Amino acid sequence: MDAVAQEIAERVRASPLVRIVTHIDTDGITGGAIASEALDRAGITHEVAFVKKLDEPVVTELKRRGTPLVWFIDLGAGMMHALHGLDAVITDHHVPTEREIPKVLRSDLLRFAESQDRILMLNPHLEGAGSDVASGAGCAYAVAKALDPANKDLASVAIVGAVGDVQDQEFRRLSGYNREILQDGIDAGVLGAQIDLRLFGRETRPAYKMLQYATDPWIPRLSGNEDACIAFLLELGVDLKVEEHWRSWSDLELGERRRVVNALVAHMLERGCGSKEVERLIGETYTLIREPAGSPTRDAKEFGTLINACGRYHQPEVGYRVCRGDREDSLAEALRLLRGHREYLVDSMEAVAAAGINQMDAIQYFHAADTIRDTVVGIAASMALNRENAAKDMPIFAFAQASDGIKVSARTTRELVARGLDLAEVMKVASGAVGGQGGGHHAAAGATIPPGTEPKFLEIANRMVRDQIRPSRRLDGIDSR
C-alpha cells in the first residue's frame, strides 16, 4: 500500500488543483475529511464533492470540467472501465473493473499507453487482499500519511470510516491494513482499542437502553424489552442513575461491567443460545480518546452512525465538518439529523406494518412505495427482520421508490448465510434479468430495477434463494431468536 500511496501523494502535491469526489456514506465522508485536511495542511488547493454513486453522467461531467486532478475516494474502482481520459487518483476498496484500452493502443503500443497512464489507484484488491482490510477512508489515510507522517492523528477518523463500513463486524475486530491505522492512532494518542461488550451506544445511551436495543447478538427476553433490561441490571446491583443522569455503559465501573457481561453470557447460555451467538457479545471496540466522555463522537461506532445520518438526509457537508473538528454548529445539526433519522425509523416501521410483509415459499417481502426513502429502506428491512412479525428463517426483500427506479434491499441472518445464502448473487442475477443492476454482500445486498418488474424479480429471487439454502440441519443458536 505504501509505495502506491507515496506515488499518489506526489501526484497530488504536483497538481495546482485537486477535486475530491467521494461517497455520501460514513466511509466516504470520513475519507473526504481526511483527504481535505491533509491537503489543507500541505497548502494544496482543492474542492470536495459528495456523490450518491459514481455513474456515467458524473464521470462525463468530470471529464467536461477538465480539473487538473480528480481524487476519488470510496468509489472509482467500479468505474475503471469508464475513466479513460481523466487525470485521476483513486483510493477505494471496491472490486475494480477492467480498464478500457482504446483499440489503437493494442499490443506494442500497450507499454506506451501504460507509461502514459493518467490513473493511479490504491486498492487492497490490487494487492490480493479483500474489501474488508481497509476502507475508502483508510486508503485515503494512507495517502495523507504519505503526504506527511504528522497526519497520523487522522487515523481516528479513518477508523470511524472502517467501522462505519462494518469492517469490524465479521470477526468482531478490525483486520489487515486497518490494524496498522489503529496502531498509528494509538501511537498518536488519538485512539484506544479495548475488548468490551460490543453493543451499540456505549457512550450516549443509558446502559439499559443499550441492552434493550441489542440486535447483534439478539439477547432472548432482553432485546426489545425495556422492563426486563432495567430489572436485569438492578438485580446485579447496578445503579441506573446518578442524580438526574442515566448512566451509560461507559459510566459503569470496571467491576460492574464485568458482572453484567458474565450475567449476560450465563443468561444467553441458559436460554439455549449457541456459543457462536454468545461470542458476539464481546469484541474489540474503538474509542477516540480525545473526545469528551459521553459524547457522540467518542465511540467509533456511534460517531459513524452520526455521520451516516448526515449522508442519508442529503447533508454530507454537515458530517464532513464534524469530521474536520467542528463540535459546535455542525455537531448540533448532525445530532438533529440523527434524532430525525431515529424518528423516521419509527415511522418506517409503521409504514412496513401498513404495507404488510408477504411471504413466498423461500423469501418474504414488503413494498413501501413512496412511504420510506430509498436511502433508509435497507435499515427498515433489517429492523423488520428483527421484529416479531417477520419470519426468522427467510431473507427479507424491501422495495421503495427511488429517483432512478425501484430500490430493492435484502437482508438476512448469519444463520442463513452459513447455510449457503448469498444475497449479493441473488440481487445481481435477479435484477440483471429484469433490466436493473445490483450486488452487495452475502447478508445485505441492494439493487435498482425498472418500475413494474417487481413480480418477475421476486419470482427469480425466490427460486434462487430456495436453491441456495441447504436443507436445515439444526444449527447452533438458530432457535435463539
Q: Which residues bind Mn ion (CB under 5 A)?
A: 27, 74, 135-136, 165
Q: How far is the CB of 92 from Mn ion (least distance, A)?
A: 8
**Whose Cβ is closer to Mn ion: residue 161's or residue 217's?**
161
State how far the Cα of 127 lies from the Cα of 10, in Å rounded to an integer.
20
Q: How many CB atoms lie within 10 A of CB 12?
A: 24
- Please state the length of the chain: 481
462 CA to centre of own chain: 26
**Whose Cβ is closer to Mn ion: residue 138's or residue 217's?**
138
**Whose Cβ is closer to Mn ion: residue 94's or residue 257's?**
94
Q: How far is the CB of 93 from Mn ion (least distance, A)?
A: 6
Q: How far is the CB of 136 from Mn ion (least distance, A)?
A: 4
Which residue has the CB atom at the shortest distance from Mn ion? Answer: 27
Q: For residue 228, what are the CA distances in angstroms to 56, 218, 221, 272?
A: 52, 14, 7, 18
Q: How far is the CB of 111 from Mn ion (least distance, A)?
A: 33
**Whose Cβ is closer to Mn ion: residue 27's or residue 256's?**
27
Q: How far is the CB of 94 from Mn ion (least distance, A)?
A: 7
**Whose Cβ is closer to Mn ion: residue 74's or residue 251's?**
74
State how far the Cα of 398 lies from the Cα of 260, in Å rounded to an integer.
36
Q: For residue 371, report the phi and psi dihedrals to the nearest 5 degrees.
A: -90, -15
DSSP state at residue 452:
T
**Whose Cβ is closer to Mn ion: residue 133's or residue 434's?**
133
State how far the Cα of 432 lies from the Cα of 90, in Å rounded to an integer.
27
Q: What is the largest CA-CA distance in the chain?
A: 78
Q: For residue 11, what are the CA distances in angstroms to 77, 180, 225, 355, 376?
A: 18, 24, 55, 52, 38
**Whose Cβ is closer to Mn ion: residue 27's or residue 216's?**
27
424-427 contacts at long range (C-beta below 8 A, 24 or more positions apart): 425/464, 425/468, 426/461, 426/464, 426/465, 426/468, 427/461
**Whose Cβ is closer to Mn ion: residue 93's or residue 414's?**
93
427 CA to centre of own chain: 18
Q: How many CB atoms lie within 10 A of CB 341?
A: 20
Q: How far is the CB of 401 from Mn ion (least distance, A)?
A: 25
Cis amide bond preceding 206, omega within 30 = no
Q: How many CB atoms lie within 10 A of CB 68?
A: 12
**Whose Cβ is closer to Mn ion: residue 27's or residue 415's?**
27
**Whose Cβ is closer to Mn ion: residue 74's or residue 184's?**
74
Q: How far is the CB of 74 from Mn ion (least distance, A)?
A: 4
What sign does the CA torsion over 359, 362, 366, 369 have? negative
From the CA atom positions of the chain, what is the Rg in Å?
23
**Whose Cβ is closer to Mn ion: residue 136's or residue 304's?**
136
State how far the Cα of 64 lies from the Cα of 366, in Å rounded to an integer.
41
Q: How far is the CB of 428 from Mn ion (least distance, A)?
A: 19
Q: How far is the CB of 479 from Mn ion (least distance, A)?
A: 34
**Whose Cβ is closer to Mn ion: residue 167's or residue 468's?**
167
Q: How far is the CB of 182 from Mn ion (least distance, A)?
A: 17
DSSP state at residue 472:
P
Q: How far is the CB of 444 from Mn ion (least distance, A)?
A: 13
Cβ contact 320:291 at 8 Å: no
State how far the Cα of 220 lies from the Cα of 269, in Å rounded to an integer.
10
User: Whose CA is closest to 426, among 415, 409, 439?
Assistant: 439
All 3 cell numbers of residue 345?
425509523
Cβ contact 91:136 at 8 Å: yes
Q: How far is the CB of 307 from Mn ion (least distance, A)?
A: 12
